[in-house]
């Protein structure tokens, strides 16, 4: 009887502990989608190419209108294709364009 109780308790404990790992969000992974990575790169591109101290939009607030202007090529800033795409992802997602 005593061994049956111990076995039952062990099985129940294993079931409960495995369920706790299976439920809820897994925040330990850190996997990021391509869109999230592009957003972060675009944010960096904006900070280093448009809003730095010597950049064309230095000291100006990024607004929906200025984001539209950037997407339309104003001000003229030379970017690689991948940086331009990441910047577009950042601006479009941030301002829901």
Question: In degrees, to the nearest 5, what angle opens at C-alpha 24 toward C-alphas 22 and 27?
Answer: 100
Q: Which two tokens stand for residue 55?
A: 């950049």
Q: What is the pLDDT of residue 9?
A: 46
* CA-wise closest residue to 95 among 60, 69, 59: 69
Banded model confidence at residue 1, pLDDT cuts 50, 70, 90: low
CA distance 51 to 55: 5
3-57 pLDDT, tens digit per residue, is: 544 544 444 444 544 444 444 444 445 556 788 999 999 999 999 999 999 999 9
Q: What is the pLDDT of residue 66?
A: 97
DSSP 29: -
Q: Which two tokens stand for residue 73?
A: 């090529």
Q: What is the pLDDT of residue 24?
A: 44
Rounded mean pLDDT, 50-72: 97
CA distance 43 to 83: 10
């Amino acid at each position: 009887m005593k061994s049956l109780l111990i076995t039952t308790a062990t099985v129940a404990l294993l079931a409960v502990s495995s369920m706790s790992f299976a439920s809820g969000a897994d925040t330990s992974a850190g996997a990021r989608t391509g869109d999230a990575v592009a957003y972060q790169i675009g944010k960096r591109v904006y900070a280093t190419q448009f809003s730095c101290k010597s950049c064309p939009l230095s000291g100006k607030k990024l607004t929906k209108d200025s984001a539209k202007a950037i997407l339309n090529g104003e001000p003229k800033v030379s970017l690689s294709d991948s940086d331009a795409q990441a910047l577009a992802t950042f601006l479009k997602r941030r301002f829901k364009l």
